[in-house]
Structure 1
């Protein structure tokens, strides 16, 4: 087969609608971008032989320059797909220091205005590099309980026997939801009472004014 025929065959194997946004280190982690890229390869049925060339193209000019600089004097085209993914992963997503991550996680408390659901998501994100192993569920449970701002919910969780992380989440989220509902109801009752008092005050004022007019 001629070289023109090879090019035509490769082009036919890549659907014209295939498109992946260029990797941007400010918007995404390299590992997550690669997952989305590989998902697109599967969806469009891209042959494995074309993966490396498509990766080099869709990673974008800036990332390609980073790759070339880190491989010099070797050319990226002389590396395998997995070697390129691994090298850029070590560059863009270096593994954090375990002790630093442990310290940060232990200091993570629920912030003002942060919902319990948001707090739980943050804990699950920030525990990733703490290397807890089998202690992970307990570590998450403890930080959730100790980091809550609401004293009533925290006390309820501390008093719960055989408390697991999943159970702690369920109780905390339920109590937060019911507590918010009660606060809304109380606020509405206060508003109604205030309106009633204002109406009564206006009626009293009108009655006094009318009485004064009758006396004059």
Structure 2
């Protein structure tokens, strides 16, 4: 019985197992490296989806730092590594990570026109060929910009009167002017509408006379 042959075969099998395990480990490292890679921040602030893309990138950056960096790392230095020359201009005068993130939020997160958002939401009708599920998803998406909050019954009543007042008034011109306000109360909307109505319908006649 030749033990040398069997030992040689066993040794070869062990080497094959080691090679196979090493290849699997390398493949896993490659996959992990691709999964943990992060693109540089190169979002155009004027793009329609700039805010959404920025919030998603920031979330990815925070996950990336948590998964790959040691605690206590200088986050501002890490952040600068993932900015393009154009985006770095926004934060070049910042002194800390928190200040830089606040500045980038100012750049990418624009103030919402709640009045116009609610007008779009209330006015949205089901379109031809649109399923009920698609219509529902559209309403859910539009409602996110309406900034509905916990309010008293009286506050809710006033907001609803304001929204219906703006949405259903007959003058498109007056409605358009009112919708330019980011925030406006019921009384302010009424006063503005009366002023505009007078300017449009009565002031020209007064001037002629």
TM-score by length of 1: 0.45
Ranked by relative contact order (alpha carbons within 8 Å, sequence separation 6 or more), the top structure is 2
